[in-house]
């Protein structure tokens, strides 16, 4: 009964979500404190208090018919202006409210942009390992996802291969830094080189190639690592942001797109994104959360980043001591750990110790597993003896 296209998508449906369900099942049997569920990027650190205060204030202070009513499909103008001003302060950009389109999280933003600009048969390039949902987002617009193979020694993008894979059908390139699943941050030098390649290829083919910066983890960077703001390096950049991770609000479904004036055909693309937001069925991003965000654009999230950083350090050094190998992560809240055996088999073996991790093949990079450390610090500490048993079983120690 279901469509052919959905049949494929259902069959390839998220392994991560399946793991999450498995975690709930195991918690029911062994107790939640005895299950080490590192499967989902669902922040364990609560939203900052300022966010909860803002929810109350918005309900008390905003006129109810405005707050709960329809607005422009791109969102409330005052909220978009507050976001633009915050970006300008932080990244020396020059956006105004019209450059911002409120979205239903990062996922909503990517789908809106693709709906607006991608034709069937177009190619969208990304770099392995990559967020597996990109496959479904490309399929939604009948585009082909073209994947640059991973450099497993650094997880920095392979730029020569990237250049070779750009064709006249390349419509967009997705980069995600800080990266899910590796935690790697692309340096300014890498971004500048990538921009140079894109400029060259646009000229060669007479096309426009959009660089899409998928950046839900922008603020989650450690060791004072700089995360370059991509619109400053390449004119045809679109940014997709989400508050799911930085403010621990994944269930609230709120984020935005930045469509800069410098983007080729910017005005038409803004209009198309506005219409795409409506016709994809979102109509607009959740109004209460838009207003909350309008008051929280510059909220201090250092408590959250400190908690993740502590988890990162404990888990990274703990696993290294046990003989596991991993490129040091500089951002997001994931470790991407090399597996001495097939990654899916590794996940099955880990389950015996009530450890739930996700196979790298889900991210287009077998031989690794992703460990999401956005869990309580106790979970990290208590999991290490279990990882030790696993390491022993695998002959690492």
Q: Which residues bind ligand PLP (CB under 6 A)?
A: 41, 105-107, 131, 176, 180, 214, 216, 242, 244, 250, 255
Which residues, at least 6 apart from 271, have a Cβ–Cβ distance to it below 8 Å?
A: none
State the nearest-atom distance from the C-beta of 106 to ligand PLP, in Å.
4
In the complex with ligand PLP, the residue whose CB is nearer, 41 or 331, is: 41
State the nearest-atom distance from the C-beta of 397 to ligand PLP, in Å.
32
State the nearest-atom distance from the C-beta of 105 to ligand PLP, in Å.
3
Distance CA 52, CA 50 (A): 6
State the nearest-atom distance from the C-beta of 65 to ligand PLP, in Å.
28
In the complex with ligand PLP, the residue whose CB is nearer, 183 or 216, is: 216
- Burial classification of residue 313, based on how many CB atoms lie within 10 Å of its CB (0-12 exposed, 13-18 middle, 19 or more buried): middle
Phi, psi of 271 (to 5 degrees): -60, -45
In the complex with ligand PLP, the residue whose CB is nearer, 147 or 391, is: 147
In the complex with ligand PLP, the residue whose CB is nearer, 294 or 388, is: 294
Q: Residue 337: which H helix or E strand, with range?
A: strand 334-338
State the nearest-atom distance from the C-beta of 295 to ligand PLP, in Å.
19
| Alpha helices in the chain, H assignment, sequence order | 4-11, 15-30, 49-61, 64-67, 77-91, 105-117, 133-140, 159-165, 188-205, 266-279, 287-296, 302-321, 343-351, 377-393
In the complex with ligand PLP, the residue whose CB is nearer, 251 or 395, is: 251
Could you say which DSSP state residue 143 is in? P
Distance CA 381, CA 3 (A): 46
Please tell me whether residue 124 adopts helix, strand or coil conformation.
Answer: strand
In the complex with ligand PLP, the residue whose CB is nearer, 80 or 201, is: 80
In the complex with ligand PLP, the residue whose CB is nearer, 235 or 249, is: 249
State the nearest-atom distance from the C-beta of 211 to ligand PLP, in Å.
15
Distance CA 277, CA 44 (A): 30
State the nearest-atom distance from the C-beta of 250 to ligand PLP, in Å.
5
Q: Give Cα 127 to chain centroid, integer Å.
A: 13
Distance CA 328, CA 124 (A): 28
In the complex with ligand PLP, the residue whose CB is nearer, 250 or 329, is: 250
Give yes or no for a contact between 116 and 268, defined as CB atoms under 8 angstroms apart: no
State the nearest-atom distance from the C-beta of 4 to ligand PLP, in Å.
26
Q: Residue 127: which H helix or E strand, with range?
A: strand 123-127
In the complex with ligand PLP, the residue whose CB is nearer, 130 or 387, is: 130
State the nearest-atom distance from the C-beta of 133 to ligand PLP, in Å.
7
Sheet (strand 368-372) strand order: 334-338, 368-372, 358-359
């Amino acid at each position: 009964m279901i469509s052919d296209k959905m049949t494929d998508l259902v069959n390839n449906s998220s392994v991560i979500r399946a793991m999450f369900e498995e975690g709930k099942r195991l918690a029911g049997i062994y107790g939640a404190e005895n299950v080490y569920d590192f499967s989902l990027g669902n922040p364990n650190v609560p939203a900052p208090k300022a966010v909860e205060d803002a929810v109350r204030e918005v309900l008390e202070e905003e006129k109810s018919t405005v707050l709960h009513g329809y607005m422009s499909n791109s969102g409330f103008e005052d909220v978009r202006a507050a976001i633009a001003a915050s970006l300008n302060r932080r990244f020396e950009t020059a956006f105004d409210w019209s450059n911002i389109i409120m979205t239903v999280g990062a996922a909503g933003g990517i789908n809106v942009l693709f709906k607006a600009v991608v034709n069937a048969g177009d190619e969208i390039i990304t770099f392995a390992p990559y967020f597996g949902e990109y496959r479904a987002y490309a399929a939604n617009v009948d585009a082909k996802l073209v994947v640059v193979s991973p450099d497993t020694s650094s997880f920095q993008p392979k730029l020569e291969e990237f250049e070779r894979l750009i064709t006249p059908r390349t419509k967009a390139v997705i980069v995600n830094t800080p990266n899910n699943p590796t935690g790697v941050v692309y340096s300014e030098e890498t971004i500048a080189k990538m921009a140079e390649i894109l400029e060259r290829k646009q000229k060669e083919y007479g096309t426009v190639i959009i660089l899409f910066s998928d950046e839900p983890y922008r603020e989650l960077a450690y060791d004072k690592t700089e995360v370059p703001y991509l619109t400053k390096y390449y004119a045809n950049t679109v940014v997709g942001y989400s508050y799911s991770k930085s403010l621990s609000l994944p269930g609230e479904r709120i984020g935005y797109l930045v469509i800069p004036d410098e983007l080729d055909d910017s005005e038409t693309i803004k209009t198309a994104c506005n219409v795409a937001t409506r016709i994809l069925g979102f109509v607009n991003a959740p109004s209460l959360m838009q207003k909350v965000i309008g008051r929280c654009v510059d909220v201090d999230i250092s408590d959250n980043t400190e908690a993740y950083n502590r988890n990162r350090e404990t888990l990274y050094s703990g696993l290294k001591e046990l003989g596991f190998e991993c490129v040091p992560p500089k951002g997001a809240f994931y470790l991407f750990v090399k597996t001495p055996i097939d990654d899916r088999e590794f996940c099955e073996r880990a389950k015996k110790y009530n450890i739930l991790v996700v196979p790298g093949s889900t991210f287009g990079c077998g031989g690794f597993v992703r460990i999401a450390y956005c869990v309580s610090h106790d979970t990290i500490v208590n999991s290490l003896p279990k990882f030790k048993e696993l390491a022993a079983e695998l002959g690492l120690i």
